Amino acid sequence: MEKDVISLINSTGYKAITGENKITLKAVGMDSPHCATVVEKALKNAKGVISVDTDAANQKVTAVYSAEISPANIKKIIKDAGYEPLDEESTDREKEVRQKEMKILRRKLIIGVILSVPIFIGSFPEWFSFVPEFLSNHYVLLVLTLPVQFWAGSQFYRGARIALKNKTADMNTLIAVGTSAAFLYSFFATLFPSAVTSQGMTVVYYDTAAIIITLILLGRYLEAIAKGRTSEAIKKLMKLQAKTAIVIRKGREMEIPIEEVVAGDIILVKPGGKIPVDGIVVEGYSAVDESMITGESMPAGKKKGDTVIGATINKSGLLKVRAMKVGKDTMLAGIIKIVEEAQGSKAPIQRLADKVSAYFVPAVILLALASFAAWMFLGMPFIFAFTILISVLIIACPCALGLATPTAIMIGTGKGAEHGILIKGGESLETAHKLTIIVFDKTGTLTKGEPEVTDVIRDALKYASAAEKGSEHPLGEAIVREAHKRKIKILKASSFHTIEGKGITAKLGSKTITVGSRSLMKDRKISHGYEKEMQRLENEGKTAVIVAVNKKAIGIIAIADTLKDSSKEAVEELKKMGKDVVMITGDNERTANAIAKQLGITRVLAEVLPGEKANEVKKLQKEGNVIAFVGDGINDAPALAQADVGIAIGAGTDIAIETGGIVLIKNDIRDVVGAIKLSKYTIRKIKQNLFWAFVYNAAGIPIAAGILYPFNGFLLNPIIAAAAMAFSSVSVVGNSLLMKRFRL
């Protein structure tokens, strides 16, 4: 029906465009880059799928699709690819599927061990004199091997089949080809022993096939246990969420699941209870423990009109809260989403591993065949060359290579989240340790962002407050607050006009009021005699504004924004790390230098208009620097985006937080130091993982190919190759897990 409509529209001379839809699913079992490639190729080959994005670390698949395919078909393709598709929110179902998979894997491992032991000892009666003769019979060994090869090892065949169907090859291909070669040769030798008899002996490799599969299953099982521990940060965050809420509907209190709370509901939060969602207090007074979100140890007082955050704990009084943000819109849900996306993102360093992995498996198969052919050409027995072929196939599995980066990023970003440092992507995580200059916005970042009037010279406050009434600028708000504090009646002005970065003008009856900087006064040709007082105040780190009425200066007002307690310590720590620190501000040079001097900052960019901050960052980048910009306001968004790493203060605006690559939830700029340390440590772990993964394959493949045999007669047994391959994957995950000990 839809195709007919599209054809009809096209026939009229217009172009019909079908709508695009987007679906995000969990693909349980898709836990490596190779698995993700299989799913990606399977979906891309389907008609109607426009684009696919896979996230192996969190086992997520996002597909953009047209009306030519349905979500049900997309799920079927993922299932046919060998993975269990689940809706994003199906956490209970996901847990159930994962537990079922672990149970099956454990059962296969146990059966594999039980059968592999008699197969092994039966294959070497010369080593084990106690072995009954019948156990050495090739038919008995065949019967014992069949369940291990085709039941316990079925997942490798299924994976290889799916990879082949999607015109690719992965680690399952290597395992399936290697063990099948050993099994089929042994099966042939059992049925036709005379055809393969060498020196009066018929050699079979049932032990090789069975033990390789069992060892790889052991590696996968240990890997699954270890991987379960890498996502603990997400689990901890999810545990913070309240499960139920007491809502007041139609005058009645009722306890409902958190999923049923809607924006606008009035929620009753009893002492000791969790605040279920983000909202505004409409009644009551209490102290709320917000430490899990803000890191502040002291409870925050909450009264009518104050905002509260979901998952924080009401310590004392009874509160009635109007739900403002529920479900995915809450701050905690936003934090979880950022962490999940970061854990699934790729650092630039991973691109090398991805490129290598894409060509690695086909290259290994060719290398194994080439090694086999070379040894046969050199006159070695078939059994010798065949052992080489299997060893190369088994030892070369690139599992460790695929796990090296994602596991470290998962734990690194999770560790950051535990300490209130949200790293939104692998790129920010990797770049942070390369930073050469940290540029801090002054107001609200280095300072508390709550300026106060400190000095009033002449009768300036009456007129300044009239002009600044309704102003959203921090300095204007401070002037109005001071007028209220001094019980000055604020006159009603009109015709407000803001001059960006310079000041404001307004009309009060027939009078024109101008409040602002020297620059504004110069532009308006207003002379003043307050230069000496202004210099004195500015040398004290205060911002002095001139107030003029009808082009005549009538006084000045000094305003100061005090430094945060953590600012000086953060700057000192950054300097110890060898980072240059720059302060950027719209303040005049004298005021800016006075504040910078208190912090020990020697490089100051003063009198920078909001729109020019990004350009200043660009200039520093052109000098060859790697720049972090730290800010909190809407006007900081362009600079945050321009910087190599944008670091947004968590107490800032949504736009700043959205733009920043790193978000500091606790509003403590010492966490800039923590983010850099965490980045450096995580990248070191990734490099260690990649080094050992590459070294393992670089050393393991030549040894398996028999490079040492001409010198010392050493030939790598395929079973040892399988054990080494399994150990390499577990060791990479284990090395990443050591990051949990890291102290920020």
Burial of 406 (0-12, 13-18, 19+ CB in 10 A): buried
Residues 27, 39: contact at Cβ < 8 Å? yes
CB atoms within 10 A of CB 195: 9
CB atoms within 10 A of CB 697: 21
> Pick from 346, 563, 301, 339: which is nearest to 449 by CA?
563
Residues 689, 407: contact at Cβ < 8 Å? yes
3-state secondary structure of 452: strand
Strands laid side by side in the 244-249 sheet: 252-257, 244-249, 266-269, 319-325, 278-283, 307-308
Could you write out the DSSP letters of every residue in 429-443? HHHGGG--EEEEEII
Residues whose CB is less than 8 angstroms from the CB of residue 313 and which lie 6 or more positions away in sequence, other chains included: 272, 273, 274, 275, 288, 289
Q: List phi, psi (to 5°) of 565.
A: -60, -30
The tokens for 197 are 């008899």
Q: Count of H helices and E strands in the chain?
A: 27, 26
CA dihedral 73, 74, 79, 80 (to 10 degrees): 70
- In order of 260, 414, 574, the CA distances from 440 in angstroms are 42, 26, 12
Please, what sign has the CA dihedral across residues 475, 481, 486, 489?
Answer: positive
Active-site residue, selected from the candidate residues 441, 561, 636, 668: 441
Strands laid side by side in the 49-55 sheet: 49-55, 60-65, 21-28, 84-87
Could you write out the DSSP letters of every residue in 646-702? EEEETTS-HHHHHH-SEEETT--THHHHHHHHHHHHHHHHHHHHHHHHHHHHHHHHH
Could you write out the DSSP letters of every residue in 505-560? EEEETTEEEEEE-HHHHHHTT---S-HHHHHHHHHTT-EEEEEEETTEEEEEEEEE
CA dihedral 494, 499, 504, 505 (to 10 degrees): -50
The tokens for 67 are 């009306």
- In order of 23, 145, 265, 302, the CA distances from 307 in angstroms are 33, 66, 15, 8
DSSP secondary structure letter of residue 241: S
Task: Name residue, tokens 């993982």.
Answer: 689
Residues 468, 504: contact at Cβ < 8 Å? yes
- Residue ranges of the alpha helices (H) in 19-90? 33-44, 71-80
Task: Name residue, tokens 């179902």.
Answer: 93
Q: Is 706 left (phi over 0), alpha (psi -120 to 50) or beta?
A: left
Question: Is 441 designated active site?
Answer: yes
> Pick from 123, 115, 194: which is nearest to 147 by CA?
115
Query: Rounded CA gap, 27 and 35, in Å?
Result: 10
Q: List phi, psi (to 5°) of 243.
A: -90, -30
Catalytic residues: 441
